[in-house]
Structure formats: C-alpha cells, structure tokens
Chain A
C-alpha cells in the first residue's frame, strides 16, 4: 500500500490515459508499485483491501476477454466492487452517444472507470465528462498504456533494465495502440526502438516518434534484445496492406530462422491473442527459455492493480465511517 501522500506527488494525475507525456520517474513509480503485486499474486492469499468501498466499472465498447478479465481480477484482488459493462451490444445499438453513456454512469458514482473504445481519443473525451478516475484500456489505434507497462515490467524483471536495450516491434504498427504506447514508454525510458513492417503497415512519419524503421526483418532484428510481435488482423489483407498470409509470414513472420538474426538470447514478446503461423511460428511462441508471452499476461494483473491503487489513492479519501 502507498503510504501517506506519496502517490499524489509520485504520480500526480487523475487518469491514466496514455504513456505519452509521462516522465521516466512516473513510469518507474508505476513499475515499482506493480512489482510488489507480482509476488503477492503468487501467494495463496491474493486479497488486499486498498480498494475497499471503491467501485470500478469496466466499460468495454469493444470486445475483449483478456484485458477485461485482467482488470476485473486486479480490481477484485484489491477488494473493490467491480462491474463489467460491455456496450458493444446494447446502448450503441440504441443510439446513445458516448457522452450520454458517460453521464449515465457518472450518476452512479463510480470511483474508477476502465474504458476501451474502438475510436482513438474516445477515452479522453469520456474522461472529461466524469468525476471519477479513468484508465484507458485501449482507444482505437492510439494508446493502451497498461499493455506497455506490463511489457516494460516483463522486460525489466528479465533483463534488469530498460535503458540501452534494443527493442524491435514487428508487424501491423499502423493500426496498433500497443505499438504506440510501447514506443512512448521505451523511448522515454532510454531504450532504442525499431519498427519492422512492410511500408504499408508503418504509420506516416513514424521516424518522428524517435524510432528507426526497417522493411527487412533480418536487418531490423540484428542486435535486438527484445522481439515484440504484434497481432496481424487478416482482414487487413482486403485493404491491400499485404497480399497474402503466406507472403506475410515468409518475409515478416517470426520463426527460428528469422529469430537467429537477433541476439542469441533475445526475448520474444506478443501482446496476444496470437495468430500462430501468421505472424509467429508455434515453436518460437512456445520457446520455454525465450518466449515471455505468458509472463506478460501474469504481469498484466500486477500492473493493473498498481494503476488502480495509485489512481484510487489520488481520489478524495473515503470517510472512515464508510469503511
């Protein structure tokens, strides 16, 4: 538990909407707090009470199983009341606007809203209309801050640092919020980031984000400590981002032959869900020593616990009688 008023000075933000703009110290603080929950989550007794009396609403406008479950577990392990709302089916079809939904939920006095939305910027818009704290659980192609934090925690625990590492992010960077959050986090923390993809899947002026762009996977992987694969949505084929899955996998898929171009002990990461045989070969994904894909999932819960704890700490304190 965070003692005294430290949280407000170590992380002086009401919301966690993105990584861009956070300082190295703030990121380090989030990671350090997450670290304490990793050990706790491995104990038989995982329950804490820092969110006792708090209401967390998981508001998902876009289908999600993994992230929603991870946030739900995080909230419950901290003793909060967690409600899941999937809006993709109900209100959207009834024509309620995003702002109306926000106002409606706000009237129920939640403490933290965890929001995912298919449109970039939607979570920010919602955060301006509510009185509670908001965590961005992914907005369009913009940001997915807790994913970048859990990736950073995974790397830091394995390699002991972030600064100076060479990280390759490979795949559909154009549409990826995971890539954007990771670029911001890793470059802020002093890691060097490379993007590897066909030109069609690299966003415009990507170099301006402080990264190097490669179109040849073997060349891009050279000397990398971390190989971060992204999910390739096969629907993108229809819009001519690439001609076929077999061509994509031949030149941009990660198998052992391709991985040999990275450092011999390079770690393999993937935010999931994976398309085996599309962007990543099964053998590589399941490599016992080098694939940290399942560890990423484990770190996810710890990171979300830390985020909930810190934002809740920054809220108005609860009166003792309410507890």
Chain B
C-alpha cells in the first residue's frame, strides 16, 4: 500500500484513503475544432511511461480534493505531490 502525502491536508496517509484519477494535465480539446487524431488521442491514448508519471489522486476519505502526484512507475516510489493548478515539478 502506498503512503501518499495529501498537499492540502499536509499529511502522509495510506493509499486506502485515496482514489486514483488517471493521468494528470490532460487538456480537453474543443470537439468542434479538434481533428480525428487529436480527439482519438484525448479519448484513448495515455502516456503509460515506465518511469516518472504525473497522475491525479483524490483524497476521498479525507479532504475530498483532487491533487496531482509524480510517481516512478518502475518502483512505485512517490516523488512529489502538488496542488491542482500548480505546474508539474521537476524532480532531480
């Protein structure tokens, strides 16, 4: 079970309190203006990297808020968590 730091509660809490929300920083294109390729990409294609992954989590059994998280998908180590609206941090 992961230990995840909620950036709003400022506490490390067990994964059971959270819901995973998929890849972070996806911007929905305008469906009237988007090409087939852009729309397909938005609907179905995700980064799925082996390594650093930016993803959303929701502190469902805590403050209830969405936030973003950087995690290494090869080791499952959490590198950073940050609030919605903040830019993706660079982790050295």
Q: Specify whether A and B are partners.
A: no
* A residues apposed to B, CB below 8 Å: none
* B residues apposed to A, CB below 8 Å: none
